[in-house]
Amino acid sequence: MIRRFCTYGLEFKDSDSFTHDWCTLIPALELEYKTTIHSSIGKTPEMLEKSWNPILPYDTLKKDLVDIHPTESSFELILDKARHHANRSPKKLKDSFAGPFLIKALHGPNSVQLELTGELMNKHPAFPVSIMKPYSSSDKESFPLRNKPPLEIPPLEEGEEKKTVKFLKERRTRNKKESEYFVSYRIPTQEDEWILEKDIKNSEKLLRSFRNESKARIEN
pLDDT at residue 184, as a whole number? 80
pLDDT at residue 89, as a whole number? 59
Name the residue among 116, 113, 107, 106 with its Cα closest to residue 127: 113
pLDDT at residue 185, as a whole number? 76
- Please tell me the distance from the alpha carbon of residue 170 to that of residue 4, in angstroms, as a whole number: 94
- Please tell me the distance from the alpha carbon of residue 111 to that of residue 145, in angstroms, as a whole number: 36
- Please tell me the distance from the alpha carbon of residue 203 to that of residue 206, in angstroms, as a whole number: 5
> Which domains does the chain carry?
2-54 (no CATH), 56-86 (no CATH), 102-131 (no CATH), 165-219 (2.40.50)
169 touches 159 (CB < 8 A)? no
pLDDT tens-digit profile, the chain (220 residues): 666 666 555 555 666 655 556 677 778 788 888 888 888 888 888 888 888 888 877 666 655 555 555 555 566 566 666 665 655 556 666 667 777 888 888 887 888 888 887 777 777 888 888 888 887 776 666 666 666 655 555 555 554 455 677 778 888 777 777 778 888 877 766 777 888 777 777 777 777 888 777 777 766 5
pLDDT at residue 187, as a whole number? 72
